[in-house]
Chains A and B, each alone.
Chain A
């Protein structure tokens, strides 16, 4: 079970958090302009990488804030955590 450093509360048990899938998938500003394929790309396509992945997490049983996490899914190492709206750390891209 991970120990997660909530950017607002500090280090907490994983059981207080929920994972929210891949990060940095921005909802299209003008969905009606999109073709079926483009909309499907936003709606359904997720990378699910073995290795370094950018994820969304929320501190459900805490401050209820969403934030981003860079995690290596092959060994569960959390490499970085940063707030919503902040730029992802470039060294993992």
Chain B
């Protein structure tokens, strides 16, 4: 193929800079400044992909981000490959490789194309209706649907590129650098506002910048020359920042916007290394000026989707900006004056125009007259009724429209062509405005939605505000900016404007054909293959809401969010349903305006930076000693310490046995610690825990259970009275932050009269727990001066002491049921004290154990773990922990809920112990518990919450919750598993040392 459709040099294209690229494995050439689309068109390639449902051949339709058809897969490399990229937005670079999507085996021979011939049996809702039943088949259907329909391929390797986020604060943000945006940005910046101007294109000036007709002049200069001077001036203004290739993705409330700045996608591959690829800009601005322009509407007629059918404005842009002719036999089809602008521009460049088909009967504007003067045939009052050509349009047939525009009359005329430009008028790009919460109003005269009420300090100017002609824009912009920016004067007050655009338009949402609607294919949503027929079918089937029709027909649900066809869908719905357009409303445009890469969204938060990880002061020791870790919230906790060939089971069995036989050591630094001080500290604890605290002596520890106001267990832990008005509370590792927040909430909002101060000290202390029958001997070696006798230092008490010269707190508390000491010391001494304990314990074979062993040991004792044995539906009574609920206290958080009609039911799920018939059989946590597995449906009584093989009891033990479990001691139950049933017996949840003798052993 040759680059034979390059018609005239353009100042936007550098013809001295040739670039080679690959499309579907073939090499082509383009020039610097080309997009993939313009370069393909220059090579006379229109066919780029296949449609989603019918696999119809599709070509390039637009020249911008609204493109529905020409979406390609970029790169072959499995880490950089990117699907769903619009060929109209890709700037070509050396090394570019693109391929068609949605076709197999190739775009020219596509097996899925058979769907096109099957389309009578593929109506709207086809996939929903066909593949929904039976549900069990979904997995099989999905395989085939994905294979034949999938939109491109995701990368399979990690993304090697760098992305980042950046905050920007400014006074005025101008979105869109067309003529309106340039004027607004200059006015704003020159009046001292810190201004940011953003445009998604690589160049400034919108569509005016390549306007070359003397029908449009400002101060007697052709509009593009005038604008070029303005652009050169704004580049010099200090407090104006300009970002091109930057697309605003979302416009949130309070003028907070997200934009994606594309930094390297246009560079040759070898120049991209180590550079940031995309930057997500988080913009907070005082004022927003939307100058987002408008999108040309297609026309909806039979077979309006063939390759070679483009928007008329796109044809104009390809010829003016890229110097490319989209065809050699061009026909334009329009209902307004826009196509004549295109025609004049093509004519000036010597590009052949076969004819213009105009829906309007009486047209005599200056633009139309100029075309007539040049002997180009205009068919007034005509419409296209059909198009021909499979992979490229080669012929159209046209007929005359009836007076009411509902039918065609007369005889058919055929016109040969290789390119058809269509113009259905313009739709203001109000997407960002509506995202911000703006409300639209409908303007009947030209059938457009325009901004009505603004939710924040913003305005819309130019064609996104429904001002479509140069004189309309320029005659009002000065006053608008003065009002909005509160300034006295602009330099645009007395512009002399020449604009020959005539605004008459003949809007027909669905153009008639000589065939009945069932036999035609007038596409409304190109990407999702939704036709006018599908929309009518949805209405016949009873759908009325525009949102429902959208979902049923998938209109507007593609990657382009139906930027082109949504208005036609609305028009066809209102015509068919006989309602007024404005009353239907529109569908919601959701962010992002154009798709964002995942890389942009996550920025630098990838790999180890994905989330914060918290490590204890003893972490390095665990790593050196080959611990396996588990995540508990953000904490990395040592899980178990396998030796040589041990797996998890062996390691945990060994650790658990050692802790009970001699001594174990645990890093408990992650437990939440809240320092509580104040004259009302005791009263405060009384109110937040279920048990009584006023009488706790100084130097004593007590276990407490905290409920939500609904009576459900929320957290637990041991709290120690350090002094008259001073406590240290421990919480679960995962609950530390939420417990603190909850306590602060009550203190600030319910009980502000209490004199209590809370400070989180979790990270300030390292906590080392030594347990087992030899723990006392070990601690006495580490802290020789401390009297460890049971009389002086009994269970559930605490001592302030010193290790060497460092003060520390030692609590004698136990979560394992063994005699056990917990040393709390300033975090930076944690590692050295741990080493001391290991040294002192060597002769007793002190064994470090992790969270898994801790869980096993406490399960032997029937101690609960909040969040494992409870799930926010368990009261202390359900947990058989009535002993901890004070009967005497008048109130505490959650007390009243403990005797609501629901919480006093006998058949609530209650915590019980379970032992298996076969002591070697270990249950699966989460397994269901039933009484009778043969009953249908099987009644599920509860589930297993904790389960272990206990090396100390030499049998399998489990905790579970069972409906009415309290009264089922000795009851035989069944755990049904996939291939077997396991017989279990309900027992007391305390399996070991019911008399707590080991605490003082």
Contact = CB atoms under 8 A, between A and B. Distances in A.
Nearest to A56: B749
Interface residues of B, number: 23
A22 to B, nearest CB: 12
Given A1-B252, A20-B745, A43-B709, A36 B900 contact: yes
A34 B896 contact: yes
Interface in A1-54: 1-3, 13, 20, 26-28, 30-32, 34, 36, 39-40, 43
A2 B254 contact: yes
A26 B827 CA distance: 41
A80 to B, nearest CB: 16
Contacts of A20: 745
B869 interface: no
Contacts of A85: 752
B318 to A, nearest CB: 39
A85 B749 CA distance: 8
B106 interface: no
A69 to B, nearest CB: 13
A2 B253 contact: yes
A75 B455 contact: yes
A14 to B, nearest CB: 8
B843 interface: no
A65 B744 CA distance: 8
A1 B252 CA distance: 6
Interface string B415-455: 00000000000000000000001000000000000000001
A66 B745 contact: yes
Residue in A28, A30, A36, A85 with the greatest tally of chain B CB atoms within 10 Å: A36
Interface string B886-904: 0000110001110011000
B895 A31 contact: yes
Given A3-B284, A27-B750, A84-B748, A39 B437 contact: no
Contact of A65 (B253, B748, B895): B748
Contacts of B437: 75-76
Contacts of B744: 58, 64, 66
A77 B253 CA distance: 9
Contact of B891 (A3, A31, A58): A31
A32 B890 contact: yes
B986 to A, nearest CB: 31
Contacts of A2: 253-254
Contacts of B749: 56, 66, 84
Interface in B688-722: 709-710
Contacts of B891: 30-32
B531 to A, nearest CB: 37
Nearest to B758: A64
B752 A43 contact: no
A1 B253 contact: yes
Residue in A28, A30, A31, A64 with the greatest tally of chain B CB atoms within 10 Å: A31
A30 B254 CA distance: 42
Given A43-B710, A84-B748, A84-B752, A31 B256 contact: no
B996 interface: no
B900 A39 contact: yes
B741 interface: yes
Nearest to A27: B750
Contacts of B896: 28, 31-32, 34, 39
B913 to A, nearest CB: 32
Nearest to B740: A64
Residue in B256, B745, B749, B890 with the greatest tally of chain A CB atoms within 10 Å: B749
Contacts of B710: 43
Given A39-B897, A84-B752, 4 more contacts: A2-B254, A43-B709, A58-B744, A76-B254
29 contacts: A1-B253, A2-B254, A3-B254, A3-B256, A3-B284, A20-B745, A26-B750, A27-B750, A31-B895, A31-B896, A32-B890, A32-B895, A36-B900, A39-B896, A39-B900, A40-B900, A43-B709, A43-B897, A58-B741, A58-B744, A64-B744, A65-B748, A66-B748, A66-B749, A76-B437, A77-B455, A84-B748, A84-B749, A85-B752
The 5 residue pairs across chains A and B that have the minimum distance between CB atoms: A31-B896, A1-B256, A66-B748, A76-B253, A3-B254
